[in-house]
Amino acid sequence: MYSFGVLSLLSPLLPIGGFTYSQGIESAVENNLITDTNSLKLWIESMLYKGIKYLELPILIRLCNSAKENDWDAFLKWGEMIIASRGTMELKMEEMQKGRALVNILPSLNIAMDSIPPRILPNLSSSWLQALAYAAVRLDISVEELLHTFIFSFVESMVTVGAKIIPLGQSACWSVISEILTSSKISTMIAEAKLLADDEIGSGLCNMAIQSSLHEVMYSRIYRN
């Protein structure tokens, strides 16, 4: 059973409000790139296997390892990498706003603010992945548990976006979630992400970045930009 700590850090609803962001899916629906359960599933799988596998997962691993070893130079380096890899202003602001929200609730998880090294505190407040990795280490959450919960939270959030925008019913949404998360590809993806070299890290989700840019200027939208 997953711990309260990891569920607190990665809940799509609270405390960071991850449910308020669509990562380009809202505009993808607007532009008829996503129209039903199948196209939503394919879109999310592309985000997982071509994006998260090569960016968020390996960087989370490195951030956790750096925090465990108190190697703050490496920790800050990988934090800069994640910010630089956010391809639109919308995605960059999401990373920063979720980081700030997570830092605000650290005391409620018994992580004292005065125990955080002063040199990294500003970065935790401007990068969700850095705040997430630091908190996970302080709460003794294993990397394996963190990565699996991260993927579950991401898939649930993105399917929820599709449910509201396409729209889809609850049964259809659960079908998409279960098909993605019960696939053996998830375990394979995590195993392969652990083996990536530093120079293999990066995201190639060009279409997602385009849709995120289009979302920034949509006339009417539900999700934050």
Summarize pLDDT for 29-38 with one digit per residue, the tens.
999 999 999 9
Please write the tens of the pLDDT for every residue from 166-195: 999 989 999 999 999 998 899 999 999 999
- In the prediction, which pLDDT does 171 show? 93
Q: Which domains does the chain have, with CATH numbers?
A: 21-216 (1.10.4190.10)
Residue 178 and residue 190: Cα distance in Å, rounded? 17
Residue 84 and residue 68: Cα distance in Å, rounded? 24
- What mean pLDDT do residues 197-214 have? 90
The HSE-up count of residue 155 (CA atoms within 13 Å, CB side) is 24
Please write the tens of the pLDDT for every residue from 94-113: 899 889 989 998 898 888 99
Residue 8 and residue 17: Cα distance in Å, rounded? 11
Predicted confidence band of residue 128 (pLDDT cuts 50, 70, 90): very high
What proportion of the chain, given as a percentage, has pLDDT over 70?
92
- What mean pLDDT do residues 48-60 have? 96
- pLDDT of residue 20 exceeding 50, the answer is yes
Predicted confidence band of residue 141 (pLDDT cuts 50, 70, 90): very high
DSSP the chain: ---HHHHHHH-SSSSS-GGG--TTHHHHHHTTS--SHHHHHHHHHHHIIIIITTTHHHHHHHHHHHHHTT-HHHHHHHHHHHHHH--SHHHHHHHHHHHHHHHHTGGGGT--GGGS-TTTHHHHTT-HHHHHHHHHHHTT--HHHHHHHHHHHHHHHHHHHHHHHTT--HHHHHHHHHHHHTSHHHHHHHHHHHT--GGG-----HHHHHHHHHHHT-SS-SS--
| Six token digits for residue 91 | 């995605």
- In the prediction, which pLDDT does 72 show? 96
- pLDDT of residue 221 exceeding 90, the answer is no
Burial class (CB in 10 A: 0-12, 13-18, 19+), 50: middle
- In the prediction, which pLDDT does 3 show? 61
- In the prediction, which pLDDT does 1 show? 47
